[in-house]
Amino acid sequence: MRNDLHEVLIERPRRGHRLKTARGNKPRAAEWTGEDSYADSYEPRQRRTKFFDDLLAPLRRWLRRQVGRPWNKIWSELTASIDTRSVVGRHLLDHVRQLVVISADYDAAQRAVILKPHLRRRSAPDEPVDGLYVDPRTGVLRWREPVPRRVLRRLPPAPRFDSAGNPIEFRPMAPTRGYFRGKGIWYEVEIAAIAPTTRSVPFDLMCNGFPFRITHKRQLNSRELLAAGLNNEA
């Protein structure tokens, strides 16, 4: 484990242009051509500055080489080589927690490793973890090959349900608008996210693991169904 890993990953030189002065679109005296006139029209300049960029490939390679070792020893080596009291050190450990699934558990059949209940999504509660994870039985760092993206694109969409367990279908048209089918009938709906809460609340649909409720609903007519390529089943 390198002692300067934090410098390689986080404190390396940033890419991009450095903005020394915020000149903006203010005209200069040398560009004056006459009374109340300038040579060119001035538009707001694009703000250029250094952008944030972390190099995580060396960290991924180092973690992959640690597969088969106890996670407690790996974590001890990480914390011993960096200053965990600094912002840079805590930022590096946050990247490690993102690359490694630490809070995992076995499913009911005791075969697949899944996320713990407080980290699961309601739409896919028993989805097996992939990539780097800590075995909940032995505490050893393991690796599970992720499913290729080309295979994921060929899979049919996962069924969606509302809070009552009824099957639904939703096709987004905008961040807060889309087509919704309930009980075989298609509607054009407007949705709003439900605020996070510690207790379970009824919701109309689940998108990307977050519950939404329908604020406005209008049934599609035959012409709109034909234009959208949809058909009612009821």
* Residues 71 and 126 reside in one and the same domain: yes
Residues of the chain with pLDDT below 50 are: 21, 38, 122-123
Residues 164/132, Cβ–Cβ less than 8 Å: no
User: Are 112 and 1 part of one and the same domain?
Assistant: yes
What pLDDT is stored for residue 68 in this prediction?
A: 94
pTM of the model: 0.52
Domain boundary among 154, 181, 210: 154
66 and 150 housed in the same domain? yes
**Cα-to-chain-centroid distance, residue 208:** 10
Question: 167 burial class (0-12, 13-18, 19+ CB within 10 angstroms)?
Answer: exposed
CA distance linking residue 43 with residue 174, whole number of Å = 31
Question: Which pLDDT score, from 0 to 100, does residue 79 have?
Answer: 87
Residue 183 phi, psi dihedral angles, 5° rounding: 55, 35
pLDDT for position 31: 58
Count of alpha carbons within 13 angstroms of residue 165, beta-carbon side:
0
For 165, the domain range is 160-228
Predicted confidence at residue 65, as pLDDT, reads 92
Three-state DSSP state, 154: helix
| pLDDT the model gives residue 206 | 74
Judge if 83 and 166 occupy the same domain.
Answer: no
Beta-strand ranges (E) seen in 76-184 are 100-101, 104-106, 113-115, 131-134, 141-144, 160-161, 167-174, 177-182
Any idea what DSSP says for residue 165? -
pLDDT value, residue 122: 47
- How would you class 101 by CB atoms within 10 Å of its CB: exposed for 0-12, middle for 13-18, buried for 19 or more? buried
In a shared domain, residues 149 and 173:
no
Domain co-membership, 101 together with 4: yes
Q: What is the pLDDT of residue 202?
A: 80
The reply to whether 3 and 119 lie within a common domain is: yes
What's the domain count of the chain? Answer: 2
pLDDT value of residue 123? 44
Cα–Cα distance measured from residue 16 to residue 48, given in angstroms and rounded to the nearest whole number: 8
Verify that 99 and 74 share a domain, yes or no. Answer: yes
